[in-house]
Structures are given as C-alpha cells and as structure tokens.
Amino acid sequence: MIHGSEKLIFEQGRAGRVGVDVEDVCLIELDAALPEELRRGPLADFPEVSEPEMVRHYTRLSQRNVGIDDTFYPLGSCTMKYNPRMNETVAGMKGFAWLHPAMPVSETQNAFRILWELEQMLKEICGMDAFTLNPVAGAHGELTGLKVIRAAIRARGEKRDKVLIPTSAHGTNPASAMLAGFTPINIEVNPDGSVNLEALEKVLDENVAAMMITNPSTLGLFEINIKKIADMLHAKGAFLYCDGANLNALVGITRPGDMGFDVIQTNTHKTFSTPHGGGGPGAGPVGVKGELTPFLPYPRIEKFGKDSYGNDFFIPMTEGRSIGRIHSYYGNFLVLLRAYVYLRTMGARGLREVAEAAVLNANYLRVSLRDVGYRVAFDRPCMHECLITDENMPKGVVTMDIAKRLIDKGFHPMTVYFPLTVHDAMLIEPTETETKETLDAFIRAMGEIAEEAKAAPELLHDAPHVTPVQRVDDVDANRPKNLNMKWEVFCGICS
Ligand SMILES: *Cc1c(COP(=O)(O)O)cnc(C)c1O
C-alpha cells in the first residue's frame, strides 16, 4: 500500500479505545427519540484512537503538504506568489467572515462598497468599462465572458458560432468555448511563438464570434501582433477575448483594454494573491467593453444615490438583458475581499513594481538556466515566466526526471509538458515575491541536476528519494481502475 511510513488512521489505535466519551452527554436521550428504522445496526468500522493519536496523525499528514509557505513554487502558468498575511487577517475579521449574503442590503452596505470599489479598480487596471465579480474561477470567468459574447451576438440578430484559439492556449479555453455553445477552431502559432496571421486570415469570416488570446501567452511571450489581430477581428464584427490569467506580467504597465481586447477574465487567486491550488476557492472577475455591458450576469452592484445620512448607497440589480446568474449571490466574497486588500495595500506604484519584478525574475532565470546547460525554447526576453526544454540533456534523461529530482533539492517542480506546442516543456514562473538568494539557490539546484544527468543519470530516473512516496507510475496514476483507493478491514468477520 502506498502511504509511506504513516499508517492509515484505521490501522492505528486499539479496539475499544475512544477519543471523547460522549455517552453521558446526550446519546441516551437521542437514542430514545430515534425511530427504530433509522437506527444503525452494527457500528461502522470507525477508527479507535485517542485524541492525541488522532491529532498527531493529521498534524503529520499536514506537514507533508508542500506549499508556497514552505518553499519556492515556480509552477508556470499558476502564479504561485506569496500571499500576504494582511489579506488573511482581514478576511478572518468577524464583520466580514460572519456576513450572510441574505442579510438586508441596508445592513451590509460596506460589503457592497468593497465589491463596488474592487470593480472600479479592476476597470482601471484592465482598461474595461464594466466588471462582474460573480465568477468563482478563471475557467468560470471564461465561460461567463463567452456567454456574454454569445448573448451580444444573438442580440444583434447574428448566428456566429466559431471561436478561434491559438494552439498554445490553456486547455480551459477550448473547453469553455464548447460549454458556451461555440465550436473552437485551432490557430497555428509561428516558430517564434506569436499567432500566425495568415492562418488567422484564412479562417476569419462572418461566422467567427470571437478569438481567445492569452497575453502574455502560455509560452511566456508578449503577443507582438496584438493590435493587428484586434483590428482584423473587429473589421469582421468579432470580439477579442483576453484570457487574463497572466495579468501578473502586465499590471500597472499596460492594459488589455488598450490593446483592443473587448472582454477579459482575471484570476484574482493568481494576480491578486489568494492561496490556491488543490481546487481551493478562487475568483474570476470578468471585465467588458461598452457593447457587452448589458449582458453581464446579475446581480450587479450599483451605486444608487445616498441614504438619509448622506452616505453612498449600493444595491444589487437584477434586471436587464443579462445572461442571468452564474453563481449564488455575489461570488466568493472572502476571496474578492483578499484581492481588495491586496490592491489597496499595493497601490498603483506597488502594482507596477509587481509586474516589473515578475518579469525581471523570469528573465534572470531564463539567462541563468541557459548558462547552466538548459535549452531556452524562445531565446528572446520573456514576460513573467520562462520556458526551457530537456533538449541539451544526455539521451535518456527527460523532463519528468528533472522535475522529480528538484523535489530532492527542496523545490516544488515547475510545470512540465505544457504548453503542448513545445516538446518536453518546462514552464517556470518565479513571480515577484522571491528574493535573488532564492532564485540563485534554484539555479544552483538546476545546475547540479544538469551535472548529475551526465554523471549519474540513475539519480534522476529514481527521483524523488526524500519523499514518503517515491516515483509513481504516471500512467497508472491516471487510471482509477488500477488504483486501490479503498481501505478494507481484513478480518475474519468480514471475509
Ligand atoms: C490558471 C489558468 C486558467 C484557469 O484558471 P482557473 O482559476 O484554474 O480556472 C486559464 N488560463 C490560463 C492561461 C491559466 O493559467
């Protein structure tokens, strides 16, 4: 069984041992009140452990987590930046944490004010005319943005049904296009990573609803022809959609709205610092330009005159040509609150420094990793992430070996084998929150791995060596039917 040296909780303790004695408290009365047919027969096989055994078990397991609070986490495309504790402190305040969205609007004015002000800041940062904060993830924002585009196209009386997507795009882009009822069409990228304009020209007709572009792209490169692409699409009456997951490279320097984008989803859990990973809560606010505004989902927070004390009054509106609700109430309020605190504490100058440092750090890695023996996929200045490959490594040493060996050196691996258009890709995003010392330690580790690849490749093939679970079979791990995910009691009674 693969669970390292930590036994399952069911395998610990001893028959009859209990953590808490609840018998005297209320179970007897409860027992009497409960109708016969609802009572459990034989007791389930609960673990029989003492409270300290239980606490130690889960504490040990929690220490096996790897996160941004333990180590450098350069997972490309994910923007694993440090999340300031200030955000957590504010999100934990009773006045926020205990709010219920069904409370009277007049009693939750300051929550609405925060949402409204966050919308204003996002409009300014992205160069858009209106924002909705309701979507709860980047991919959810993509779906929302595309549904808004679809509604606007239908309102014009048109039937456009194609969405163009460069082959380097994140997998969520074609998936969202399908879910929104469009047909995704691939557009080739050039050897330098930019969108191939001839390929675009060929398929661009009156049936195209939109093109989705990630800028900077998932190759970590700025789309140099963005203005031209915007003009081509607009000339045909189509919309330009920005997958804004990579906004960290641009904040405070340039604005997607100014590049000609009509819609953008932002990933607050990436750019605006909320702990994420493992499917935790996020937020994917969507910004749009003028024509699309009436179709945004509701509720939309509006500033509605003043109350009797002269304070601004905010109300959630539900009318219009909106696509309707895409989530309960107002989205993930506490995630949005963290983004708000982050933006207020950074300020305009701080945000610009975020992008500057993120790009500087990525370029420092690009040049330094090249110097220790890795091939850089596109050797020109990158944005917030750099892309290398295993091409210069000895035969037999592959991307996965390098990534796994990094774990032994104390780092979370980079993103591997993505984007799909680059063979054996390693996508590295340092973010702005890392010091030069950390980056240098990472470069040293990568240099050591390049040396080991020549001198002792088996060290890489068998890595990781320091973890409770060593190299897993990636293929089998993706086939649930080959995995035993269930603990069973192996005893005489059951078998
Ligand atoms: C992370 C990411 C997404 C998806 O965002 P989620 O919040 O995980 O749904 C989409 N596109 C790109 C380029 C991303 O990096």
State whether the beta carbon of 286 lies less than 6 angstroms from ligand 1.
no
Q: Relative to the CA of 214, which ligand 1 atom is closest? A: 13
Q: Residue of the nearest CA to atom 2 in ligand 1?
A: 245
Angle at 321 between CA 154 and CA 244, to 5 degrees: 75
State whether the beta carbon of 218 lies less than 6 angstroms from ligand 1.
yes
The pick from 77, 248, 429 for probing ligand 1's pocket by mutation, whose C-beta has the most ligand atoms within 8 angstroms, reads 77
State whether the beta carbon of 429 lies less than 6 angstroms from ligand 1.
no
Q: How many residues does the chain have?
A: 495
pTM of the model: 0.90
Q: What is the pLDDT of residues 445-468, one digit of tens each?
A: 999 999 999 999 999 999 999 998
**Which pLDDT score, from 0 to 100, does residue 43 have?**
74
Helix (H) or strand (E) segment spanning residue 399: helix 399-408
Q: Residue of the nearest CA to atom 14 in ligand 1?
A: 245
What value does the mean pLDDT take over residues 104-120?
96
In CATH, the number for domain 351-467 is 3.90.1150.10
pLDDT above 50: residue 2: no
Of the chain, the percentage scoring pLDDT greater than 70 comes to 95
Q: What is the pLDDT of residues 121-180, one digit of tens each?
A: 999 999 999 999 999 999 999 999 999 999 999 999 999 999 999 999 999 999 999 999
Q: How far is the CA of 77 from the centre of ligand 1 (A)?
A: 7
Alpha-carbon radius of gyration of the chain: 26
Higher per-residue confidence, 483 vs 352: 352
Q: What is the rounded distance in angstroms from the CA atom of residue 168 to the CA atom of residue 162?
A: 18
State whether the beta carbon of 296 lies less than 6 angstroms from ligand 1.
no
Residue 19: which pLDDT band, with cuts at 50, 70 and 90?
Answer: confident
Q: What is the rounded distance in angstroms from the CA atom of residue 254 to the CA atom of residue 40?
A: 63
Q: Residue of the nearest CA to atom 7 in ligand 1?
A: 138
Where in the chain are all domains bearing CATH 3.90.1150.10? 351-467
By C-alpha distance, which of 173, 174, 245 is closest to 215? 245
**Which pLDDT score, from 0 to 100, does residue 41 have?**
80
Tell which CATH architecture fits domain 85-345: 3-Layer(aba) Sandwich (3.40)
Where in the chain are all domains bearing CATH 3.40.640.10? 85-345
Beta strands in 257-299 (DSSP E): 263-266, 286-288
- Could you tell me the CA-to-CA distances from 167 to 183, 213, 218, 222, 390 in Å, in that order? 15, 10, 10, 15, 21
Higher per-residue confidence, 152 vs 66: 152
Q: What is the rounded distance in angstroms from the CA atom of residue 213 to the CA atom of residue 76?
A: 17
What is the DSSP code string of 294-359?
Answer: GGS-S-EEEEEEE-TTS-EEEEEE--SS----SSSTTS-HHHHHHHHHHHHHHHHHHHHHHHHHHH
Contacts of 456 (CB under 8 A, 6+ apart): none
Helix residue ranges per DSSP H, 16-50 = 28-33
pLDDT mean across residues, the chain: 92
Cα atoms in the Cβ-side hemisphere of radius 13 Å centred on 287: 27
**Which pLDDT score, from 0 to 100, does residue 169 have?**
93
Residue 490: which pLDDT band, with cuts at 50, 70 and 90?
Answer: low
Q: How far is the CA of 79 from the centre of ligand 1 (A)?
A: 10
Q: What is the pLDDT of residues 34-58, one digit of tens each?
A: 888 888 788 777 889 999 999 999 9
pLDDT above 80: residue 280: no
The pick from 78, 172, 213 for probing ligand 1's pocket by mutation, whose C-beta has the most ligand atoms within 8 angstroms, reads 172
The pick from 170, 241, 276, 384 for probing ligand 1's pocket by mutation, whose C-beta has the most ligand atoms within 8 angstroms, reads 170
Q: How far is the CA of 172 from the centre of ligand 1 (A)?
A: 7
Q: Report whether 449 contacts 405 (CB < 8 A).
A: yes
Q: How far is the CA of 138 from the centre of ligand 1 (A)?
A: 5
State whether the beta carbon of 170 lies less than 6 angstroms from ligand 1.
yes
Residue 361: which pLDDT band, with cuts at 50, 70 and 90?
Answer: very high
pLDDT above 90: residue 3: no
**Which pLDDT score, from 0 to 100, does residue 379 have?**
84
Q: How far is the CA of 69 from the centre of ligand 1 (A)?
A: 21
**Which pLDDT score, from 0 to 100, does residue 494 have?**
47
**Which pLDDT score, from 0 to 100, does residue 492 have?**
45
Q: How far is the CA of 139 from the centre of ligand 1 (A)?
A: 6
What value does the mean pLDDT take over residues 363-379?
96
Both tokens assigned to 142: 């993509």
Q: What is the rounded distance in angstroms from the CA atom of residue 106 to the CA atom of residue 425?
A: 53
State whether the beta carbon of 415 lies less than 6 angstroms from ligand 1.
no
Q: What is the rounded distance in angstroms from the CA atom of residue 436 to the CA atom of residue 446?
A: 15
CA dihedral 136, 138, 140, 146 (to 10 degrees): 140
pLDDT above 70: residue 495: no
**Which pLDDT score, from 0 to 100, does residue 493 have?**
47
**Which pLDDT score, from 0 to 100, does residue 276 have?**
86
State whether the beta carbon of 282 lies less than 6 angstroms from ligand 1.
yes
Q: Report whether 132 contacts 294 (CB < 8 A).
A: no
